[in-house]
Structure 1
């Protein structure tokens, strides 16, 4: 079993904290620099809801991540790829 990167921290409640403080350009949400986001553990219903939503697979993923981090889809969609890929890595921990 491999160890998680330092920027992914699993919580006792099953959530995962994603840290961005080591990036040269911290992501911004609603004009505020963000050092961390917490992604709650998804439920089966979260996945069903995302699968039922209309649109491209990428849009469905953004919607799912927005729900799990309690952010707007627009805010998640506006993240630069370095920050967004960390959300993808966090979600992958839930599914692996």
Structure 2
């Protein structure tokens, strides 16, 4: 794998316990206009709760998980531009991937 594919995008700030994603356009979340969104690292409890509430609907499960991790509503996530939601997905998967040895 090349170093270029391992490079963190400029719109993503990754730490051991969270990922911050800069949005391409501001969006209202919890009544406040935001230009970035932070997801905390999930726990097993977070994943189980989202899976139980999603009842076989993978999209709903993911929305519920991300909303919980960002402490916003699923409606706020649904109002995001698709490009920004995809950034959030990329950030989440970077956050939970196994560290290299």
Q: Same fold (TM over 0.5)?
A: yes
Deviation per residue, 1:20-71 (Å, 9 max, x gap): 2xx2x33333564311111100111111111111352111110100000000
Matches within 5 A, 1:13-92: 14-20=17-23, 23=24, 25-29=25-29, 32-53=32-53, 54=55, 56-92=57-93
With a CA cutoff of 8 Å and minimum separation of 6, indicate the structure with the bigger relative contact order. Answer: 2
Structure number having the greater strand percentage: 2
The answer as to whether partners of 1:8 and 1:17 remain within 8 angstroms in 2 is yes
TM (normalized to structure 2)?
Answer: 0.79
Structure of higher CA gyration radius: 2
TM (normalized to structure 1)?
Answer: 0.82
C-alpha root-mean-square deviation of aligned residues, in Å? 1.8
Q: How many residues align?
A: 92
CA distance in 2 between partners of 1:4 and 1:83 (Å): 16
Unaligned runs of 5+ in 1: none
